[in-house]
């Protein structure tokens, strides 16, 4: 299996539930990203991990908690979400050398999250 795989593809949860989104990349990349995509809005970068260390955290509410146990796996743990958190959550990976990289990001197909 190649590329970036996200599971589940769809998730419906209540505001009090706890769930996790999973991302796995088979490209040998050393950086992984979580994005939020809402209708008619630019992609919002949530978190970046480089070499399993978090390097970006863009003022994301604490109800979203990332985890990167190794360079191939990335999780987004969800707890007590709000209706406005309903969106498509995209995972991406890329190869970076320090902080200067012209390599494109490779995206998974996303998890469509609906909060009841």
Which positions lie near other proteins, rule CB under 8 A? 4, 6, 31, 33, 40-43, 45, 48, 50, 55-56, 90, 92, 96, 99-102, 104-110
Distance (Å, whole) CA 33 – CA 74: 8
Closer residue to other proteins (CB): 68 or 92: 92
Closer residue to other proteins (CB): 58 or 80: 58
Least separation in angstroms between CB 80 and other proteins = 27
Closer residue to other proteins (CB): 66 or 110: 110
Least separation in angstroms between CB 13 and other proteins = 20
Closer residue to other proteins (CB): 33 or 64: 33
Least separation in angstroms between CB 53 and other proteins = 11
Least separation in angstroms between CB 48 and other proteins = 5
Distance (Å, whole) CA 52 – CA 41: 28
Distance (Å, whole) CA 14 – CA 113: 11
């Amino acid at each position: 299996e190649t590329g970036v795989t996200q599971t589940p593809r769809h998730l419906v949860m209540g505001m009090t539930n706890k769930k996790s989104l999973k991302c796995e990349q088979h490209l040998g990349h050393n950086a992984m990203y979580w994005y939020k995509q809402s209708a008619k809005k630019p992609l919002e970068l949530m978190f970046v991990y480089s070499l399993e260390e978090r390097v970006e955290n863009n003022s994301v509410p604490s109800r979203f908690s990332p985890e990167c146990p190794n360079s191939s796996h990335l999780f987004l743990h969800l707890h007590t979400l709000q209706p406005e958190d309903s969106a498509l959550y995209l995972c991406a990976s890329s190869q970076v050398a320090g902080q200067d990289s012209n390599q494109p990001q490779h995206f998974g197909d996303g998890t469509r999250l609906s909060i009841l």
